[in-house]
Amino acid sequence: MRDLAGLNALVTGGASGIGAAVAAELLRRGARVAVLDLDTRGAPDGTLALAADVTSDADVRDAVAAAVGEFGALHTVVSNAGIGAVGTVEDNGDDEWRRVLDVNVLGMVRTARHALPHLRRAAADRPGAVSVTHTCSIAATAGLPRRALYSASKGAVLSLTLAMAADHVREGIRVNCVNPGTADTPWVGRLLDRADDPVAERAALEARQPMGRLVSAAEVAAAVAYLASPAAAAVTGTALAVDGGMQGL
């Protein structure tokens, strides 16, 4: 399926886990793909790798400009870079809150701010095919223990998605998010490495999802590719859960 042929995409955090799977899937379906990441070593072959930090407005500006310079236009933004935080509100101090919100929320704001002028231009040429997709999380809508900061950051991403969808719907720019449940990525690997009993911790994460398993990065990537595709031309302001039934069941 080459339903994304002719689209040029930027994927933040595209060198690992969900972002790398998204970059590979968009590429497989015919898009040209730029990957913005702190560490671009895991950027899939065939992508344009751009080393940048989403906490730096200048980095994001330059990376967007580099992608547009290479491709000539930008149709698809997947804002996916994010970091985790474990704990209750008593566990994380202000500095940790600022650090996580800077990456998870402001990183997406900066990416949108610099991409929107290009998306607006592209929307005139490709009606229905211009979009922003945020990687949110089921943590935005479910009360998960010991995830106060992370959940708050993803709650902000969900609200940002809805607000941006309203702001840009008349410009032909669709804005959606995916809400993965726990996904089998290096991130979860790091979480398990730090656990007292990694086997029990993994079993608990699997049990939390009604299907009794983690979701794969490829399953999340397929949802993102759909939201970016012309098949989703009527879809904006939606949160698509890919969570093994966690939200709905």
CB nearer to ligand NAI: pick between 16 and 229: 16
Q: Which of 111, 150, 174, 232 does the annotation list as catalytic?
A: 150
Reported as type and span, the H/E element at residue 131 is strand 131-135
CB nearer to ligand NAI: pick between 76 and 123: 76
Alpha-carbon dihedral sign for residues 35, 41, 47, 50: positive
CB nearer to ligand NAI: pick between 124 and 195: 195
| Residues of this chain that bind ligand NAI (CB under 6 A) | 12-13, 15-19, 37-39, 53-55, 80-83, 103, 107, 135, 137, 180, 182-183, 185-188
Separation in Å, CA 156 to CA 85, 162, 173, 215? 15, 10, 20, 23
**Rounded (10°) CA dihedral 26, 28, 34, 39:** 100
Q: How far is the CB of 71 from ligand NAI (least distance, A)?
A: 20
CB nearer to ligand NAI: pick between 141 and 185: 185
Q: How far is the CB of 239 from ligand NAI (least distance, A)?
A: 12
Which alpha helices (DSSP H) does the chain contain, by range? 17-28, 57-71, 94-101, 107-125, 148-168, 186-194, 198-208, 217-228
Burial class (CB in 10 A: 0-12, 13-18, 19+), 181: buried
Q: How far is the CB of 24 from ligand NAI (least distance, A)?
A: 12
Annotation marks residue 226 as catalytic = no
Q: Judge whether 33 and 57 are in contact, CB under 8 Å.
A: no
Burial class (CB in 10 A: 0-12, 13-18, 19+), 7: buried
Q: How far is the CB of 249 from ligand NAI (least distance, A)?
A: 17
For the annotated catalytic residues, the residue numbers are 150
